[in-house]
């Protein structure tokens, strides 16, 4: 990684974010990965953006299926965040033992999440090592009023009420 890239990585550790899992399914295979590169772009029409690294199985499934499920994690789901961030390697089944459900697209969503977005890829913007996806939200739902899982400087944190 370049010196500028490493500097950006260190700087972005100080950007407080929520944590989500982006998942997809294609040809009977499901996979997902933890991301914090998620943002709302438009409410009418409802569009979100997410960035996925090319070297991941999730990226390959999203580009093949053109669908993604996004589960925004609740405070008590840090173990799931770690699992989908690489504690379970790319080639293994990260969904083993995890309760999921699907909506319109068939992309897996993780039960117990704070909120859920069912999406179809609208546009892809390829870069050197990742692709930025604009996604149409075809269904969404918040869950209970649980606190979110928050990430800051490589550590999970709690929001004070």
Q: Is residue 110 part of a domain?
A: yes
Please give the Cα distance from 63 to 155 (Å, whole number).
30
Mean pLDDT of 44-68: 96
Q: Is residue 83 part of a domain?
A: yes
Please give the Cα distance from 126 to 143 (Å, whole number).
33
Q: Is the pLDDT of residue 9 over 80?
A: no
The number of angstroms, rounded, from the C-alpha of 72 to the middle of its chain's C-alpha atoms is 8
Q: Is residue 107 part of a domain?
A: yes
pTM exceeding the 0.85 threshold for the entire prediction: yes
Q: Is residue 159 part of a domain?
A: no
Q: Is residue 158 part of a domain?
A: no
Over the stretch 79-120, which tens digit does the pLDDT of each residue have?
999 999 987 777 778 999 999 999 999 999 999 999 999 999
Q: Tokens representing 72?
A: 């925004």
Number of domains the chain contains: 1
Do residues 33 and 87 lie in contact, with contact meaning Cβ atoms separated by under 8 Å? no
pLDDT-derived band at 158, boundaries 50, 70, 90 = confident
CATH number of the domain encompassing residue 101: 2.30.110.10
Q: Is residue 161 part of a domain?
A: no
Sheet-wide strand order for 20-26 = 29-35, 20-26, 67-72, 115-126, 130-142, 46-53, 38-43
Domain holding 125, by residue range, is 3-153
Please give the Cα distance from 67 to 65 (Å, whole number).
5
Q: Is residue 14 part of a domain?
A: yes
Q: Tokens representing 28?
A: 């009977």
Q: Is residue 115 part of a domain?
A: yes
């Amino acid at each position: 990684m370049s010196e500028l890239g490493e500097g950006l990585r260190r700087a972005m550790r100080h950007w407080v974010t929520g944590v989500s899992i982006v998942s997809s399914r294609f040809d009977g295979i499901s996979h997902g990965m933890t991301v914090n590169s998620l943002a709302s772009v438009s409410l009418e029409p409802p569009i979100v953006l997410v960035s996925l690294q090319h070297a991941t199985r999730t990226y390959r499934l999203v580009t093949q299926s053109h669908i993604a499920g996004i589960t925004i994690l609740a405070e008590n789901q840090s173990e799931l965040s770690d699992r989908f961030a690489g504690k379970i390697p790319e080639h293994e089944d990260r969904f083993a033992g995890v309760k999921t459900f699907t909506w319109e697209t068939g992309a897996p969503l993780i039960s117990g999440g704070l909120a859920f977005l069912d999406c179809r890829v609208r546009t892809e913007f390829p870069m050197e090592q990742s692709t930025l996806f604009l996604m149409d939200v075809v269904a969404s739902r918040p869950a209970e009023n649980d606190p979110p899982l928050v990430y800051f400087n490589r550590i999970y944190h709690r929001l004070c009420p």
